[in-house]
Structure 1
Amino acid sequence: MFEIPAVHAAMLVGAVGAMVPMWRAHGTDCRVRIAHGAMAVSMVAMMIPGLPAGIHLLEGAVLIALAVFVTGETMHRRTAVPCAVDLTAMGVLLLLAPTSAPAPAASASSGHHHGGAGISTGWLPLLVLVCWALLTLHLFRSTPRRERRSGVRAAAAGSALMILGMAPMAV
């Protein structure tokens, strides 16, 4: 998807971030582990040059479907909800990626622009990224201090790393 070394480094950080909650996986559900593995694979797939955009659209749809899978009948809400937020945000960013690419410049001689009312979605991925960061912070802060030991810190740290890894898609 991107061929810039700094972007690859950011995405590698995101892939590591997807795996961080699995290091503290003693209290997590198998569904959460599967979801974090899928997010790591997705981050690595973004670093592979030459993949068609359709693959990333499929990844986005799968990640959103996994968000529903993670929250279904799980006993570990403390880890499932942040995981579902990560999955949904990453999936939406992947679905928006083809539309968030810069559009070719319109000809100066044409005098008119196509595309309806001229509404741009260039800000939408950035909005998703900011909402993702705010939700992650809220979920961490709303967890009582005595419960933060049980993987909540690892989930928040992993989310922060994934947010950094997905930042190149939003800008």
Structure 2
Amino acid sequence: MFEIPAVHAAMFVGAVGALVPMWRAHGTDCRVQIAHGAMALSMVAMMIPGVPAGIHLLEGAVLIGLAVFVTGETMHRRTAIPCAVDLTAMGVLLLLAPMSATTPAASAASAPTPSGHHHGGAGISTGWLPLVVLVCWALSTLYLFRSTPRRERRSGVKTAAAGSALMILGMAPMAA
């Protein structure tokens, strides 16, 4: 998907971020562990050059499906909800990736004419949508961390928030 070394480094950080909550997973349901493994694999798949865009669409759909799967567990809500937020945001970003990537033909078709209006589409640009998803993801992660009472902020909640922050950093190239 991306072939720039700095972007690869950010995505590697994101893959590590997906695995961070698994290090402290001693009280976590296996659904959350499966989901974090899938997010890490998705981040690694983004670093492989020449992967068709359809694979990333499939990854996005699978991650959103896993968000539903994770929230089916009622025992570990403190870990399931942040994980579902991560899965949903990453899945939406992957689904938006092919739309936000501009091709020379598409950008030429929607170029403004001398009269100042656009041709070849509804006139609505989705280039800002990945950035909105990324900002909402960051704000949701911060809210979930801050809304946890201090006495309940054990290492698992802190670890999940740190992992989410690393994944947000890793997915930042998708919004650029």
The Cα offsets for residues 99-129 of structure 1, whole Å up to 9 and x where unpaired, read as 111343778xx98633333110000000000
Structure 2 spans left out of the alignment, 5+ residues:
108-114
Conservation of the 8 A alpha-carbon contact between 2:35 and 2:83: yes
What is the distance in 2 between the residues matched to 1:26 and 1:62? 25
What is the distance in 2 between the residues matched to 1:103 and 1:127? 22
CA apart distance, 1:146: 1.1
Comparing 142-151 and 60-69, the one that deviates more: 142-151
CA apart distance, 1:149: 1.0
Q: How many residues align?
A: 169
Structure 1 residue 160 and structure 2 residue 172: aligned? Answer: no
Segments of 4+ in structure 1 off by > 3 A? 110-113
Comparing 35-44 and 144-153, the one that deviates more: 144-153
Conservation of the 8 A alpha-carbon contact between 1:129 and 1:170: yes
Q: TM-score, normalised by structure 2?
A: 0.91
**Structure 2 SS opposite 1:155:** helix
Identity over the aligned pairs, expressed in percent?
A: 91
**Structure 2 SS opposite 1:18:** helix
Q: Which residue of 2 aligns with 1:14?
A: 14
The Cα offsets for residues 33-83 of structure 1, whole Å up to 9 and x where unpaired, read as 000000000000000000000000000000000000000033100000000
What is the alpha-carbon root mean square deviation over aligned residues?
1.7
Q: TM-score, normalised by structure 1?
A: 0.94
What is the distance in 2 between the residues matched to 1:58 and 1:103? 21
